[in-house]
Amino acid sequence: MNLNKELQQLQHKLDKLRNKLVAAEKRDDPSVVQRFQKEISVTLKKVESIKGQKSRQVSSKSDTIKAMPFHRELTKTEQADMGKLKKSVRGLVVVHPMTALGKEMGITKMTGYAPKEF
């Protein structure tokens, strides 16, 4: 399963558990409250685990992209016609600064990475 989908499902499950916990607390049912607290802690551990996996994936992808021998910022005209640029440059990887990968790499402008100069 995709990590993003799995993370989203766990977040939804966590929301439902928290709502049920509030309802159980209003009913003053200590055994149910304890059960929901335990389930919430288990779900939180799973969420943290998946976030760690995502972080490791982004980090490894960042390392492979940084290892490419050539990179430069893309001009506005190149950004406007990205399809033409990608067809003309084989192996081009474009990194946007607002994505997780861009934030990991610390870039401030849209940058292209390629094995050859373009």
* Angle, CA of 81, 84 and 86, to the nearest 5°: 105
Is the pTM for the entire model greater than 0.85?
no
Tell me which long-range contacts 15-23 makes (C-beta under 8 A, separation of at least 24).
17/43
Binned at pLDDT 50, 70 and 90, residue 112 comes out as very high
- Give 3-state DSSP helix, strand, coil % of the chain, rounded to 5: 70, 10, 25
pLDDT reported for residue 1: 62
Report the pLDDT value the prediction gives residue 5, as an integer from 0 to 100. Answer: 94
The 3-state DSSP class for residue 85 equals: helix
- Identify the H or E element spanning 72: strand 70-73
Q: Give the chain's mean pLDDT.
A: 93
